[in-house]
Amino acid sequence: MATSRQAEAASPWRAPILLAVLVVLFVLEGTMRNALFSGSWNTSLAILNMGLISAIMALGVNMQWGYAGLFNSGVVGFLALGGLAPVLISVAPVQGAWSAGGLRVLAALVVGLGTLGLAAIVWRRLPKRSRVLGLLAVLIVGFVAYRWLFDPAVNAIEANQSAQFGNLGGLGLPVLLSWPVGAAFAAAAAWGVGKVALGLRSDYLAIATLGIGEIIVAVLKNEEWLARGVKNVTGIPRPVPYEINLQRDPAFIERAESWGMSVAELSGIWVKLCYAGLFIVVLLLLILLAELSLKSPWGRMMRAIRDNEVAAEAMGKDVTGRHLQIFVIGCAVIGLAGAMMITQDGLMAPTQYNPLRYTFLIWVMVIVGGSGNNWGAALGAILIWFLWIKVEVWGPQLIGFLTLPLPDGSLKQHLLDSSAHMRFIAMGLILLLVLRFSPRGLVPEK
Amino acid sequence: MDILNALVAFLNFVFIPAAAYGAQLALGALGVTLIYGILRFSNFAHGDTMAFGAAMTIFATWALQAIGVSIYPLPTALLALPFGIAATALLALGTDRVVYRYYRQKKSDPIILVMASVGVMFIMNGLTRVLIGVDEIRFDDGARFVIDVRSFREWTGLTEGLALRTTQLITLVVAVLVVWALFWFLNRTRSGKAMRAYSDNEDLALLSGIDPERVVRMTWIIAAALATIAGALYGLDKAFKPFNYFQILLPIFAAAIVGGLGSPIGAIAGGFIVAFSEVAITYPWKKVAEYLGFDTGSAMLQLMSTEYKFAVSFVILIVVLLFRPTGLFRGKAY
């Protein structure tokens, strides 16, 4: 949310210049081998791919923050929820899991959600005196019924081939189908949180989303019947060829030889380029949609609400309703990015979902890139991701260089050991400096 | 039916741990609620302030241990607390001067201040990691138990044992002292009254000649002291691990909101409500029920597994937001 709306128009060249800087950085990473860069196209493209996914996350956060001024501090949760989709949609079904208790788990979930819905109805319909009792009765009966259905079913599913699977497994459908499903999962959760926390003061949404983020990650870590919890699901199908198949393909080997590259290297690059192409298509499509909607009457209304809620409300706009809408849409985009990330990794490992890395780093990307500007958020995301990865390499080298005059000893060793944590300080500093001295970011809103 | 054993099991597994945890949450929530009342934003860096304060206290403890100071049977960390508080207060005042003051004078939206506190959180988190590392640290020297299970059994002849750890007792005693001191300060001293006046009505307070910067400075010092004490007690009780302090942020916010943001008495009530619900919902009640003569069969009577204890604070938070967004003690909600 830019606070200084009257500021002079920024140069229209900022976005192209930032893009050019990024291209140069990635080319340097791919070609130069020295203390700063790895000189490997494989590394460069790996950073780029994750940067593109981060850009989609940043787009989602930018919709919430840049269009509506909503602070979502549970990005990691919506991302993780989206990541569940590839597991449930595209992994091959587990033999015997559904017959062991699949339907019963579904029934339990329906009963659980039904209880909450019924409780809401009871609370609204019953007369004031009896509604507390009615609410409690519905909740207690519902909870007991839920546990009665849920517990045996979960035990049965987890006992089924527990060493190798022990989970429900997926539907065996194409993995690309899981991307919109991941978005839908995240959107559903966002609707629930937004319904409760929006319309109150702005900090409450931040605190409520902090909670839902932690809970979703905890569910993924502990519910083994769902996605094996911390035992991880591996071998999630890919939408692109496998390196190992490429390396056996005679035509591919021939091409590698004619380009003078090793087959292993080219196959890695090839696969990553395929992913990059897919991600770029999704990213550009999202930016196109976001830009079009921002220029529509709906977009003007969103900005009007953001800039002056009271005035917009006086003009008859449903501020809370619009906030809920944009919050759900933004979370859907984050869920989509989560599904894409798991598809690229081919691995669902819930322990990787660290809030500092997947919530607050995304925030740094949006603020630095330019809140309210889709191109800014996307380019800022790729830039910050590149720096985040490289600071891990550069930090120790910088510390090593700075501590050269120090005698060898425990202090020097301690500084060298702790240099890996420097990037938290670096990111915090970047966030604070941009927020203070350039609150509109590198590519400001038009 | 064996009421005494049931009571002892309840005290041992539910009441004592929840009371100690509740005191830690209450101290944390007091800091959050004070910052909210005076500076009017939710401080996301509070968890990491607690971690930083605890880390500074650990350093001072090590220094004291190195020169052979000990107050056996109490943990040395109690002596080290003032050093930890001083260091943390300096850091808090520094961040206010460098970061928050600018937005305060510009009268930015509260959400911008929240955003700035996220930046501060990153820096404090990194600072703590750089200074002390990410590993678990135990720094509770002194006697481990006030009452241990075996001597309790011998003493009472009951089958169920009861343990009261020194850290739990210290947590409760220190929390009571700190809360008493804080309320005395807020209600009896000129500075405390100035703080409350500023929190109630900023403009009126300015008109009556209260220096806002002084109020803000005092708030940071008190919040830093509360955070350090809460952080050190939590670390003494459980073990110090930087990441835990990020996770405790949610129950602390829940406690502050349940009580009503900006209301000190509410923060204390909220801390205990959250802690007792968390422990009661994640404790398997089988043992207590069996002592009371109920046959539970194979059921553990555990409403939720311990991994989901954060869900409890979340649900409490949601219920309060739905039914009484200003909290139990009518805090500010603008």
B262: in domain = no
Task: Tell me the residue range of the domain where B100 lies.
Answer: 3-246
**Contact predicate A338/A413, CB 8 Å:** no
Q: Kindly state whether A202 is in contact with chain B, defined as any CB-CB distance less than 8 angstroms.
A: yes
- Given this model, what pLDDT does residue B142 score? 78
pLDDT at A4: 46
Averaged pLDDT for residues A199-207 = 81
> pLDDT digits over B276-326, tens only?
999 999 998 888 888 888 877 777 788 888 888 888 888 888 888 888 888
Residue A81 has pLDDT above 50, yes or no: yes
Q: Where does residue A194 rank: exposed (0-12), middle (13-18), buried (19+ CB within 10 A)?
A: buried
Is residue B324 assigned to a domain? no
pLDDT at A38: 81
As averages over each run of 10 residues, the pLDDT of chain B (334 residues) reads: 86 93 95 91 93 95 89 86 95 94 89 90 90 85 83 84 90 94 93 90 88 93 96 91 88 91 90 94 87 79 83 87 82 53
Contact A1 B123 (CB under 8 A): no
CA distance B125 to A427: 11
Q: Which amino acid is at A68?
A: A
Task: Name the 3-class secondary structure at B319.
Answer: helix
Distance CA A337, CA A339 (A): 5
Å from A5 to nearest chain B CA? 13
- Report if residue B320 sits inside a domain: no
A208 touches chain B (CB under 8 A): yes
- Residues A220-245: pLDDT tens digits? 998 888 888 888 888 888 888 888 88
pLDDT for res B333: 46
Asked whether residue B334 is assigned to any structural domain, the reply reads: no
- In a domain, residue B11? The reply is yes
Chain A residues whose CB is inside 8 A of the B110 CB are 201-203
Hey, which residues does B74 pair with through a beta bridge? B71
Q: Is position B318 within any domain? A: no
Record: contact B111-A71, CB cut-off 8 A: yes
Residue A313 has pLDDT above 90, yes or no: no
**DSSP string for A91-128:** SPBPTTHIIIIIHHHHHHHHHHHHHHHHHHHHHHHS-T
At B332 the pLDDT is 60
Assigned domain for B148 exists: yes
pLDDT of residue A5: 47
- Smallest CA–CA separation between B57 and chain A, in Å? 19
Per the structure, the count of domains in chain B is 1
**Predicted pLDDT of residue A9:** 65
Domain holding B35: CATH number? 1.10.3470
Q: What is the largest CA-CA distance in chain B?
A: 69
Question: Of B112, B250, B311, which is closest to A210 when you measure between CB atoms?
Answer: B250
Chain B residues in contact with A208 by the CB 8 A cut-off are 314, 317-318, 321
Residue B302, domain member (yes or no): no
Interface of A with B in 352-391 (CB under 8 A): 355-356, 360, 363-364, 367
Q: Report CB contact under 8 Å: B122, A360.
A: yes
